[in-house]
Amino acid sequence: MRQVGFLVDVSRCLGCRACEVACKNYFGLGETQRYRRVSEVEWQTEDGIGLFYLSLACNHCENPECFRVCPNRTYRKRRDGIVVHDAGLCDGCCTCVKACPYGAPQYDADTGKVDKCDLCVSRLDAGLRPACEEACTNDALKVIFLDRIDETGLLKSVPTLPDIRITRPSIRFNPPVVRKQWLSKK
Amino acid sequence: MPKVFRNLCPRNCFSTCSILSYVENGKLVRVSGDPAHGFTRGNLCAKGYAYVERVYSPERILHPLRQFPRGSGNWCPITWEEALETIARKILELKGRYHSFRPVGFCKQYGNMGLLHYAANALFDGLGSVTVTEGNSCWSAGLDAYLYSMGSMEKPDPEDMVNSKVIVLWGVNPAWTAVHQMHFIDRARTRGAQVVVIDPVFTATAAQADLYLRPKAGSDGALALGMAKYIVENAWHDHEFLAHHVEGYEAFFAYLTSISYDWVEQETALPVEAIKEVTELYALNSPAAIWTGLGLQRHTNGGQNVRTILTLAALTGNLGRPGAGLYNPSMTPWELFSFYTRDHVISRHPVEHRRININLLGAELKKTTDPPVKMLWLAQRDLFQDAHTGSLRGALEDLELIVQVDQFLNRSSRYADIFLPTTTQFEEWDVLPSYWHHWIGINEPAISPLGESKSDLQIAWDLSRKLNELSPGICSFPTAGKEEEWVAGEFNQEVYSRLEIEDYRELLQGPRKLKWPQVAWEEMKFKTPSEKFEISSLTAASEGLPLLPVYSEPASAPAAYPFRLMTPHSQSGNNSQFLNLPWLTWGTGEPCLRINPLTAKRLGLSNGARVRVYNQQGEIVFPVKLSATIREDTLVCFQGWPGSAEHELNDLLNGSPTDMGSKGSGRPSIAIHDTFVNLCPA
């Protein structure tokens, strides 16, 4: 089965949030809508500080909870695996918002409807890259065909990502890297 | 199909992006980066992508307003005519009362760096001698360190960083403040370069580094001295280079023998192994570049610390060659432009204004007499982004008229009487160079001015017209004009030939790169008295500073306030700008105070606990976020805490002056990172 998804290189993400706001700019999103969200993840390692930034949009899951729970059948999984939402049919009940483990569906108080990342299907169809990927200065974000890539060295999850077993998200990660640090005199 | 226009981001930022603006039915619908711009390469930053929201924000002020009474928040619309008449009559009344224009104060900073925005400066030049603020809180101490060492602030083309074998990012976080540079740093890395980050905070840039060092804040000079000592001891210095191009290295070598590695360890809190590792990397991998950040010079010893760091390039001959060099903002390419707007009056009639220190504005306003300042024109600036904000309140209350020219009300607006709405870059003509890269674009109007907003140039023309109506001949600034002609006036033959164009309109097809040296100091003829790189500077000595880059102790925490509070830039704001936009802030959580987990444990604080942070100047209440990215003696709050009428983060900043700053900027800067506080559970 064809499955389009995202490859996020957390060792390269700068946490600059350009992807997140480029998406709002491209779609003219409402004040409270974040189709893509960047968060900071810090943990302790034996080698020092672990710090990476996690940029997440819709993960276009293999088993999308939004699709399963929506009472109005506003979600559809395309043949290429992209999960699209028809906001025209949405009555803003937010069942999907509560069900999605990743916070992908976003309610807009102005329109009273939910919408989410559609992986820029109209741009992909026109041969363009998604707005977020295009805005990334450090090549940390890429669209991939999960059915075609070699997953050697890639991770299916990283710290703070909610449990992936329920929905099987179409996202892969290059692992975080901790390099040489001198933090203080022992 | 939308129409596409070219704009420039005029913010105080390294990248000075060219923006493509998409307009449908007269409305800006979205923006994108400009692929024709060789430095920004088609990308904007998060702030740049938020411009549509900034232009059409419901909070944006689109009509002249009057607040009565001051501080009430009771802002009522007035006409431009009423506003201008009130202001002009006040200026004339003050002139009559004091026989001088000096009661008129003018304070403008870098909210919009466009060359046409100097119109306000020229308007007040047109009156004669007024009171202007001098200095800035930005880069003054580090700038002076460069001026003493090399005579002028020249730096390589930042695209040349791809040729470096080692890149030392010292006290700078380009991942958040100059994101486009990260592409060139990354290209150098793919060619084998090693990236070093030296910063008291483990930043997003530090996470990208091959080697990270976390010295105590303000100890950078001691670290650089340790590095210099290790270079000389190992004879890794460049004899030939020193002999021909460096002044005073013998005396510096003698000074280096007087310091010990134990002392360096004690000052920096870094082990000697770390100092040796970074030194070996820098000294043995040529060419190597150092970027001295603006954060590192915001200490009471910041200027001397930068001077010491600069010697590392002189010792190793890392100057004047591709891939080598010292990086800092530089206004040199700006000087090519005509400054037609800024110098409109003074090129014909020089004016000597009374100058007061912008970094001590409250105290300076209070003590200025004969005549006192009675009116303030405040442009592109939030006064509450600096230190000493407590003393500012009383001083502002004493003024008879405060006029604010901006796009949004900000914390200063509590004290303003009249608010004049200005256009954004999408609604006006302008041009501005970059203080970092060498690309020049043009800014054309993409949409009509929103509401009744006017460009700074139009406001200056209009006020001059009103003044001259009331008192013919009182202001020599023009009373009308055509914006595009003033843009044309900023260009000249030299700029055209360096851009290889014949007319500024050619830039509407895309930005062009100035023919400008890729490498600074290639001729090795420094602009110092000795024409050498001056480690030993008689100029510095004659201006009351040490002859050599000797170490001066950083400000240390007093017993009552054991924590250093640092307030660096976030990725979502540019000083006081952008952080009012939901696109950049909604969902990102309340601004918090970062605290080392060990400190938190000692104080019994867990994530999200609210603490009262205080010192002798004020207090604020925050939630804490545990983070090992900072030392145990340090607290970090990124810029953007919104503040309230009673409490401002900046109330805590004591604003001691930096050791340098007067040479290049007229005044010392603020040692904003030498702020000490205590905290307790709220």
CB B20 within 8 A of CB B4: yes
Residue B186 C-beta-side C-alpha neighbours within 13 Å = 17
Task: Tell whether A110 lies on the interface with B, counting CB pairs under 8 A.
Answer: no
User: With helix as H, strand as E and coil as C, how does B415-474 read?
Assistant: HCCEEEEECCHHHCCECCCCCCCCEECCECCCCCCCCCCECHHHHHHHHHHHHHHHCCCC
To the nearest whole Å, the CA of B2 is away from the closest chain A CA by 13
Position B648 scores a pLDDT of 78
Mean pLDDT on B427-448: 98
Q: How far apart are CA B268 and CA B20, in angstroms?
A: 46
* Rounded mean pLDDT, B393-403: 95
- Cα B327–Cα B332–Cα B338 angle in degrees, nearest 5: 160
Mean pLDDT of chain A: 96
Count CA atoms within 13 Å of residue A156 on its CB side.
9
pLDDT at B643: 67
Q: Is B676 helix (H, G, I), strand (E, B) or coil?
A: strand
- Set out the domains of chain B in order of their start, with CATH numbers: 3-56 (3.30.200.210), 65-137+333-433+441-485 (3.40.50.740), 140-329+529-542 (3.40.228.10), 563-681 (2.40.40.20)
Give the confidence band of B465 by pLDDT, cuts at 50, 70, 90.
Answer: very high
Chain B neighbours among A 127-146 (CB < 8 Å)? Answer: 134-139
Are A51 and B33 an interchain contact pair (Cβ–Cβ within 8 Å)?
no
**Which of B235, B217, B242 has the alpha carbon at shortest distance from B305?**
B217
pLDDT of residue B505: 98
Query: Treating both helix axes as pointing N-terminal to C-terminal, what angle do B249-257 and B220-233 enclose, rounded to 10 degrees?
Result: 100
Which of B73-82, B234-243, B385-394, B615-624 has the weakest average pLDDT? B385-394
Burial readout B132-153 (b: 16 or more C-beta within 10 A, e: otherwise): bbbbbbbbbbbbbbbbbbbbbb
For residues B380 and B405, is the Cβ–Cβ distance under 8 A? yes
**Mean pLDDT computed over B665-673:** 95
B621's CB contacts (< 8 A; 6+ apart) are B610, B611, B612, B613, B647, B682
Among the partner residues B46, B270, B582, nearest to A20 by beta-carbon distance: B46
DSSP A155: B
- In whole angstroms, what is the distance from residue B169 CA to residue B197 CA? 5
| B212 touches A180 (CB < 8 A) | yes
pLDDT tens digit sequence for B646-657: 677 888 988 899
Chain A contact for B47, CB < 8 A? yes
Banded pLDDT at B70 (limits 50, 70, 90): very high
Count interface pairs A-B at CB distance under 8 A: 132
Contact A16 B204 (CB under 8 A): yes
Classified as helix, coil or strand, B101 is coil
Percentage above 70 pLDDT, chain B: 99
pLDDT in tens, B509-528: 999 999 999 999 999 999 99
Determine the length of chain B. 682
> Is ipTM > 0.90 here?
yes
Question: Cβ(B373)–Cβ(B105) under 8 Å?
Answer: yes
Nearest to residue B187, comparing CAs of B159, B226, B222? B159
Q: Is residue B156 pLDDT above 80, yes or no?
A: yes
Region at B157 (left for phi over 0; alpha for psi -120 to 50; beta for the rest): beta
Query: Which residues on B lie below 8 Å from A158 (Cβ)?
Result: none
More confident residue, B609 or B388: B609
pLDDT for B613 beyond 80: yes
User: B634 to chain A: which residues are within 8 Å by CB?
Assistant: none
Output the pLDDT for position B386.
80
**Predicted pLDDT at B237:** 98
For residue B81, give the H/E element and its range.
helix B80-98
Local structure of B84: helix, strand or coil: helix
Contacts of A31 in chain B (CB under 8 A): 53, 582-583, 586
The region of weakest confidence among B31-35, B259-263, B590-594 is B590-594
Residue from B198, B266, B267, B583 to probe the interface with A (highest A Cβ count within 10 Å): B583
Lowest mean pLDDT among B166-170, B246-250, B447-451, B588-592: B588-592
- Summarised one tens digit per residue, pLDDT across range B466-491 is 999 999 999 999 999 999 999 999 99
Greatest alpha-carbon span in chain B: 74
Neighbours of A59 (CB within 10 A): 23
Q: What is the pLDDT of residue B645?
A: 64
**Inter-chain touch A180–B205, beta carbons under 8 Å:** no
- How confident is residue B588, by pLDDT bands cut at 50, 70 and 90? confident
How large a percentage of chain B has pLDDT more than 90? 93
pLDDT band at residue B387 using 50, 70 and 90 as cut-offs: confident
- Kindly report the three-state secondary structure assignment for every residue of B262-330: HHHHHHHCCCHHHHHHHHHHHHHCCCEEEEECCHHHCCCCHHHHHHHHHHHHHHCCCCCCCCCEEECCC
Question: For domain A4-174, which architecture applies?
Answer: 2-Layer Sandwich (3.30)
Mutate which of A26, A31, A120 to disrupt the B interface (most B C-beta within 10 Å)?
Answer: A31
Q: Looking at beta carbons, which residues of chain B come within 8 Å of A181?
A: 202, 206, 211-212, 214
Residue B384 has pLDDT above 90, yes or no: no
CB contact under 8 Å between A183 and B180, yes or no, is no
Which chain B positions have a beta carbon within 8 Å of A34's beta carbon? 586-587
Of B468, B598, B575, B516, residue with least CA distance to B110: B575
Whether residue B57 lies within 8 A of chain A, CB to CB, comes out as: no
List pLDDT tens digits, range B50-67: 999 999 999 999 999 999
Contact across the interface for B202 and A26, Cβ inside 8 Å: no
Low-confidence ranges of chain A (pLDDT < 50): none
Domain-wise residue ranges, chain A? 4-174
Task: Report the gap between the CA of B511 and the closest CA in chain A (Å).
Answer: 19
According to the model, what pLDDT value does residue A185 have? 76
Chain A residues within 8 A of B273 when measuring between CB atoms: 182
- Which residue among B47, B48, B269 places its CB closest to the CB of A184? B269
